[in-house]
Amino acid sequence: MITTIARHELRSLFLSPLAWVVLALVQLLMAYIFLLNIDNFIAEQDKLALLPQVSGVTVFVIIRSLGNVPTLLMVVIPLITMRMLSDEKRLHTRVLLLSSPVSMRAIVLGKYLSVIAFFSISWLIIGLMAISLNLGTQLDIGHIAAALLAIFLMIMAIAAIGLYMSSLTAQSAIAALATFALVLLLWIVDNGSKFDGSENLLVHLSMSHHYQALLSGLVPLASVMYFLLVTAVFLLLAVRRLHRERVYG
Partner 1 sequence: MMQTMDKQILVSVDKVGRHYGALTAVHEISFYLNRGEVLGFLGANGAGKSTTMNMLCGVLAPSHGTITVAGHDIVKDCIEAKRQLGYLPEQPPLYRDLSVDEYLDYCARLRQVPKAQRRKRISEIKKRCGLSEVGRRIIGQLSKGYQQRVGIAQAIVHLPALIVLDEPTVGLDPVQIREIRALIRDLAQDHGIILSTHILPEVQAVCDRVQILDNGRIVFADDIAALSARMSAKTLLLSVRAEPDHNALLDIDGVIAVKRVGEGRFQLEIDDANNPAERVAEYTVINRLGLYELIPRQMDLEQVFVDITTNDNALHPEGTLHPEGTSP
Burial of 233-242, coded b for 16+ CB within 10 Å and e otherwise, reads ebbebbbebb
Determine the interface stretch with partner 1 among 60-68, 78-86, 93-101, 215-223 (rule: CB under 8 A): 93-101
Asked whether 183 and 158 are in contact (CB, 8 A), the reply is yes
Report the nearest approach of partner 1 to the CB of residue 93 (Å).
4
Q: Does 93 bind partner 1 (CB under 8 A)?
A: yes
Determine the interface stretch with partner 1 among 10-18, 35-43, 201-209, 226-234 (rule: CB under 8 A): 10-18
Burial of 44-72, coded b for 16+ CB within 10 Å and e otherwise, reads eeeeeeeeeeeeebbbbbbbbbbbebbeb
Determine the interface stretch with partner 1 among 74-82, 99-107, 158-166, 203-211 (rule: CB under 8 A): 99-107
Q: Does 92 bind partner 1 (CB under 8 A)?
A: yes
Q: Does 91 bind partner 1 (CB under 8 A)?
A: yes
Please give the backbone phi and psi of residue 92, each rounded to the nearest 5 degrees, phi first: 65, 20
Per-residue x/- track, 206-235, partner 1 (CB under 8 A)? ------------------------------
Sign of the CA dihedral with 164 first, then 70, 123, and 13 last: positive
Q: Does 240 bind partner 1 (CB under 8 A)?
A: no
Report the nearest approach of partner 1 to the CB of residue 171 (Å).
18
The amino acid present at 238, given as its one-letter code, is: A
Nearest to partner 1 of 16, 200 (CB atom): 16
H helices of the chain, in order, are: 2-15, 17-50, 57, 64-66, 69-90, 94-98, 104-131, 141-168, 172-188, 201-205, 207-215, 221-248
Q: Which of 16, 71, 132, 138 binds partner 1 (CB under 8 A)?
A: 16
Nearest to partner 1 of 140, 245 (CB atom): 245
Q: Does 101 bind partner 1 (CB under 8 A)?
A: yes
Distance from C-alpha of 227 to C-alpha of 121, rounded to nearest angstrom: 20
Nearest to partner 1 of 15, 173 (CB atom): 15
Q: Does 100 bind partner 1 (CB under 8 A)?
A: yes
Helix (H, G, I), strand (E, B) or coil at 40: helix
DSSP string, 56-94: -HIIIIIIHHHTTHHHHHHHHHHHHHHHHHHHHHHTTTH
The site for partner 1, by CB under 8 A, has a size of 25
Nearest to partner 1 of 98, 168 (CB atom): 98
Which residues of the chain form contacts with partner 1 (CB under 8 A)?
1, 4-5, 8, 11-12, 15-16, 91-103, 246-249
